[in-house]
Structure 1
Amino acid sequence: MKKLGACKESANYLYHQELGGIGILDASYHRQCFSRHSHEGYTFGVIERGTQKFLRSGSNNLAPAGSIILINADDIHNGQANTDNGWAYKALYPLPEHFERLSHELVGTDTYTPYFPDAVVHDEALAKQFRYVFSVLERSENKLLRESLLYALLTRLMRSHGKRRVELPVEKKATKKVSMVKHFLDDSPSTNISLSELAQMASLNPYYLVRAFNKEFGLPPHAYQLQARIRYAEKLIRQGYQLADVSNLCGFHDQSHFTKHFKRAIGVTPSQYARHFLR
């Protein structure tokens, strides 16, 4: 396990191809403070030691040892220790496509991605199953075993704690103009664009755009752009790009700037993310 400086901090990131590709993180943090960020996929974690304090979708939460944290895809969240001795946890990062595939097999032709309403759950049996799956992913080379156990774990998560997301009425959804800006930032994360240019693109007042974007997506445009760049960086690293090239392609000013923001969102440095990659 790669040390992150102080003896109390370590993080190990692995990537598995099972069910289309799932990342796992085994981490022990003392001073780590995650910035407000989001992921394309879900985050499920079992707290092994200490207590984690985190924001999820506007609400503050505490997750003590033994509890499970549930973060939906695109949920704005952060994280830090709530105790002097830090916290340790094991996390899985499945994508919405994993649940679409599972839901199709469970209910037939109807597919959906579940919404997990509770940020923290106390489910001792599920936590035990989670730890077992994690140990198999870390140690076993048996692909059939790993995939079967992952399938069972995600199915249990969805059945025990997942709900069908209730669609908002059309008038409550993000306006087309604000959504247009989000899609642009998603599709062109490295573009060095100004607020005025984004506002002109959407035919909105710049200050209104900032307020409306933040209300709809939980982050102002400049912070969302940073998250889009980090997501793009993850993709490029998985494709085998050199880190210096990733930094440039994603629009970061320099390598140190890239490393700082990547670690604050993902929990490991870009080099650790790349080094522990499984193909």
Structure 2
Amino acid sequence: MKKRIFTKIFNDKNLPFVELRYSNNTKHYKNHIHNTFSIGMNLKGKTIYSNKTKKYEFDVGMLAIVNPKEVHSCNPVTKEPNLYYMLYLDPNWCYGIQKSIFKDLEGFKPFEEDVLYDEEIYTDFKNLCNLLFSEISYKEKEQKLIQFFTKLFKLYMKESEQKKENKDFEKIADYLEQNSTENISLEELSKEFNLNPFYIIRIFKAQKNITPHAYLLNMKINRAKKLLKEQKSITFTALECGFSDQSHFHRNFCKYVAATPKEYKLNFVQD
């Protein structure tokens, strides 16, 4: 007996940002694009999922992720119809969810993965699709959509590595400035921020082209210049800025200011 081919589509004027297709269509699609952010799943059967230049053997238990305007297709492997859900979302609605999680975002952030192998998320998505076709109110459906996509984006849409590096650098640089009277080692920074010492060196070289130690020395010298302007003694300034002795202070001050502490201080003597 030939299987009945069907397609059901969920849409609601109260939820204009979402559309859901439930189908066992056997048609083959050419590579195409959508303006939506889309997620699909197979309930029965296998397909070949293509996204840009990659192809995946797409099976039950997997989720296909398609960013807006990505060239893709998803076609059955056999003549038997595969049963599937395909959800389409307005990227601006998605951006609203993303923005609630990542405050610095200035637009929709594309998903990095084409395919997810996550049993919990797969089950949650299946339940969400079933629920959208149910008789509950549109407000309840909206809440479930928000809950699911908040969870999805939190789990998988990490901030960019560059933004993370920028934030790590800013935190460490601020810490060094606030504690410039101390002699803070790389190992101490590593423990304080729970970061690999080689990573700390790399982000300082990338941001300022100097080492963390050199950055701390700069903070010490800047503080020393301020104290000398206030006519504090050279001995007091050296100790206050965390230098081991006056000779150590003199040597480093000359390197960074191209003048001795005494020469620098004399420029600010009031007649």
State the TM bucket, normalised to the shorter chain.
0.5 to 0.7
Question: Displacement of 1:107 after TM fit?
Answer: 3.2
Q: 1:28 aligns with which of 4, 21, 24?
A: 24
Match of 2:75 in 1: 80
Write out aligned runs for 1:203-214 (5 A).
none
Q: Distance in 2 between matches of 1:56 and 1:163?
A: 21
Q: 1:15 aligns with which of 11, 14, 22?
A: 11
Distance 1:111 1:140, change over 3 A: farther
Question: Displacement of 1:133 after TM fit?
Answer: 1.2
Q: Do 2:47 and 2:58's aligned partners in 1 also have CA atoms closer than 8 Å?
A: yes
Q: 1:59 aligns with which of 54, 63, 79?
A: 54
Q: Which amino acid aligns with 1:12?
A: K
Q: Distance in 2 between matches of 1:142 and 1:124?
A: 27
Q: Which amino acid aligns with 2:120?
A: A
1:143 aligns with 2:138: yes
Q: Do 1:116 and 1:163's aligned partners in 2 also have CA atoms closer than 8 Å?
A: no
134-143 or 40-49: which moved more? 134-143
Distance 1:51 1:145, change over 3 A: same
Match of 1:115 in 2: 110
Q: TM-score, normalised by structure 1?
A: 0.52
Q: Distance in 1 between matches of 2:82 and 2:58?
A: 10
Q: Which amino acid aligns with 2:19?
A: G
Distance 1:14 1:166, change over 3 A: farther
Q: Do 2:48 and 2:57's aligned partners in 1 also have CA atoms closer than 8 Å?
A: yes
Match of 2:147 in 1: 152
> How many equivalent residue pairs?
161
Write out aligned runs for 1:116-265 (5 A).
116-163=111-158
Q: TM-score, normalised by structure 2?
A: 0.54
Distance 1:89 1:105, change over 3 A: same
Q: Do 2:63 and 2:122's aligned partners in 1 also have CA atoms closer than 8 Å?
A: yes
SS at match of 1:133: helix
Tell me the percent identity: 15
Q: Which amino acid aligns with 1:131?
A: K
Question: Displacement of 1:89 after TM fit?
Answer: 1.0
Distance 1:19 1:100, change over 3 A: farther
For residues 179-210 of structure 1, what are the alpha-carbon distances to aligned partners after superposition, in whole Å with 9 as ceiling and x for unaligned?
xxxxxxxxxxxxxxxxxxxxxxxxxxxxxxxx
Q: Which amino acid aligns with 2:59?
A: P
Q: Distance in 2 between matches of 1:112 and 1:29?
A: 34
Question: Displacement of 1:117 after TM fit?
Answer: 2.3
For residues 5-34 of structure 1, what are the alpha-carbon distances to aligned partners after superposition, in whole Å with 9 as ceiling and x for unaligned?
x6352211121345642000001133x101
The one of the two structures with greater contact order (alpha-carbon pairs below 8 A, sep at least 6) is 1
Q: Distance in 1 between matches of 2:106 and 2:135?
A: 31
Q: Distance in 2 between matches of 1:165 and 1:81?
A: 35
Q: Do 2:15 and 2:138's aligned partners in 1 also have CA atoms closer than 8 Å?
A: no
Q: Which amino acid aligns with 1:116?
A: F
Q: Distance in 2 between matches of 1:50 and 1:130?
A: 18
Gaps of 5+ in 2: 163-271
For residues 69-124 of structure 1, what are the alpha-carbon distances to aligned partners after superposition, in whole Å with 9 as ceiling and x for unaligned?
11111000112112342321111101210121112222346443232222221111
SS at match of 2:24: strand
Match of 1:102 in 2: 97
Q: Which amino acid aligns with 1:145?
A: E
Q: Do 2:18 and 2:87's aligned partners in 1 also have CA atoms closer than 8 Å?
A: yes
Match of 1:37 in 2: 32
Q: Do 2:65 and 2:113's aligned partners in 1 also have CA atoms closer than 8 Å?
A: yes
Q: Distance in 1 between matches of 2:109 and 2:140?
A: 25
Q: Which amino acid aligns with 1:7?
A: K
Q: Which amino acid aligns with 1:36?
A: N
Q: Distance in 1 between matches of 2:35 and 2:78?
A: 29
Match of 2:43 in 1: 48
Q: Distance in 2 between matches of 1:125 and 1:94?
A: 21
Q: Distance in 2 between matches of 1:19 and 1:134?
A: 14
Q: Distance in 2 between matches of 1:56 and 1:164?
A: 23
